[in-house]
């Protein structure tokens, strides 16, 4: 039977009669000893003029010989068609490379299906590299792929847009690493659009891509609808306070994300506080880990985090804090411990100063009493404590409101 008349199963894939350099038939995609070395990229810079003039069929056969894989006869017979279904052919990583070499400049195929082909991350990376130059393929499906690492591949917006489409149509991928590429606005919009409808992706790594406010806004919109993504890595980008606020619009309602990485971004305490407030206000938030370890946070952040941990003990936030902030925040605990040693509460201390029973004590009187009692507080700690007790800066402490601190 002519192999071009009917689709052959993988174990019956054969070369057309008269094909040059026939090879023995190992498992599809399996390497054989061809005697040639094959670099890890598609060698687009090294294709000779003679190779460029070869037909698509001959280019494919030559690529198969160089990679040491068995040609898929069905591909040879249907190379000129718009829809190409190579599902279940056991193409493998090297077979994918051979396909990618031919498809770089192919202008006919618009839909390519590669389900159940054991492409692995290596084979898929060749296809993604091919998509950066191919201008005809609109749909690429591989339902079996679970994890794809395309970091350090110089993927630009065009490749990112293809990946976004892949996210929208792929029903199996769980881990996607796109760190250290050149993805920008167009890629972010496409990836976010794919993320909105994708229901399997669990980890998305986007560090070192120059993402800023526009990209953060797109991802924030995606997080409003996506509930399956568990890890989002945006470290080493250009996420500033405004970008963080845009990302928070998605975090405010998201109930799936558990890990958020934002270290090495131009964030300040303001952005960090916005993120923490959003996560703690969202009662359905699943965030357990947040990495903002390069941000020096303030006292308000540390206090909010301590309160949040009382309600959600699993919440872990990596942050940086200056020693002065830590010392100030410890002032209340130091004062409480000091009073406990005297068998007093905070309210007892104030009542002793409130001779007229007004439930109010001037801040100046409190400052003087603390110093006279030789409480182990330095001047900065004392002023921080006064500010905490007199939040409205009225120079008067209404100590009845402090009963819960006793």
The verdict on pTM exceeding 0.85 is no
When the candidates are 1.10.238, 1.10.10, 1.10.3470, 2.40.128, the CATH number that belongs to 332-405 is 1.10.238
d(CA 403, CA 348): 10
190: which 2 tokens?
């496409």
d(CA 280, CA 317): 12
Number of other residues whose CB lies within 10 A of the CB of residue 401 = 11
Regarding the domain delimited by 148-321, which CATH topology (the fold level of the hierarchy) does it fall under?
3.80.10
**Residues of the chain with confidence (pLDDT) below 50:** 1-3, 5-40, 44-50
| Residues 76/60, Cβ–Cβ less than 8 Å | yes
Residues in the chain: 406
Query: In the prediction, which pLDDT does 43 show?
Result: 57
Encode pLDDT of 259-282 as tens digits: 999 999 999 999 999 999 999 999
What are the start-end ranges of the E strands in 269-315?
A: 289-296
Q: How would DSSP label each residue in 230-257?
A: -EEE--SS---HHHHHHHHHHHTT--S-
376: which 2 tokens?
């182990």
The closest alpha carbon to 211, from 166, 258, 244, 174, belongs to 244
The closest alpha carbon to 85, from 21, 164, 140, belongs to 140
Number of other residues whose CB lies within 10 A of the CB of residue 284 = 10
Encode pLDDT of 81-92 as tens digits: 999 999 889 999
Q: How many CA within 13 A on the CB side of residue 168? A: 16
| Residues 385/363, Cβ–Cβ less than 8 Å | no
| Domain range annotation of the chain | 1-145, 148-321, 332-405
């Amino acid at each position: 039977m002519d192999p071009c008349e009917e689709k052959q199963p993988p174990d019956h894939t054969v070369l057309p009669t008269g094909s040059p350099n026939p090879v023995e038939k190992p498992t599809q995609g399996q390497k054989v000893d061809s005697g040639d070395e094959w670099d890890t990229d598609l060698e687009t810079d090294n294709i000779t003029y003679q190779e460029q003039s070869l037909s698509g069929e001959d280019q494919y056969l030559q690529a198969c010989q160089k990679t040491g894989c068995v040609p898929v006869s069905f591909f040879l017979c249907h190379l000129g068609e718009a829809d190409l279904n190579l599902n279940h052919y056991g193409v493998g990583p090297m077979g994918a490379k051979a396909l990618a070499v031919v498809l770089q400049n192919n202008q006919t195929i618009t839909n390519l299906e590669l389900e159940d082909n054991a492409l692995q991350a290596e084979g898929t990376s060749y296809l993604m590299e091919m998509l950066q130059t191919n201008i005809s393929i609109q749909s690429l499906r591989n339902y079996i792929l679970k994890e794809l690492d395309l970091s350090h591949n110089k993927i630009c917006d065009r490749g990112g847009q293809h990946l976004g489409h892949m996210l929208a149509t792929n029903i199996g991928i769980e881990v996607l690493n796109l760190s250290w590429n050149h993805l920008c606005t167009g890629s972010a919009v496409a990836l976010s659009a794919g993320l909105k409808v994708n229901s399997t992706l669990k980890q998305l790594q986007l560090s070192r891509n120059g993402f800023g406010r526009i990209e953060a806004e797109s991802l924030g919109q995606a997080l409003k609808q996506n509930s399956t993504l568990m890890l989002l890595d945006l470290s080493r980008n250009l996420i500033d306070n405004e970008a963080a606020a845009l990302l928070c619009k998605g975090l405010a309602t998201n109930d799936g994300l558990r890990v958020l990485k934002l270290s090495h971004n131009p964030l300040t305490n303001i952005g960090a506080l916005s993120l923490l407030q959003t996560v703690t206000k969202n009662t359905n938030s699943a965030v357990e880990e947040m990495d903002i370890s390069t941000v020096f946070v303030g006292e308000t952040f540390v206090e909010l985090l301590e309160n949040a941990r009382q309600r959600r003990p699993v919440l872990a936030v990596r942050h940086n804090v200056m020693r002065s902030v830590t010392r100030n925040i410890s002032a209340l605990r130091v004062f409480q411990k000091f009073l406990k040693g005297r068998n007093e509460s905070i309210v007892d201390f104030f009542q002793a100063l409130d001779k007229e029973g007004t439930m109010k004590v001037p801040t100046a009187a409190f400052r003087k009493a603390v110093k006279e009692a030789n409480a182990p507080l330095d001047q900065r700690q004392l002023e921080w404590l006064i500010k905490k007790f007199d939040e409205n800066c009225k120079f008067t402490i209404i100590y009845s409101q402090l009963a819960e601190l006793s």
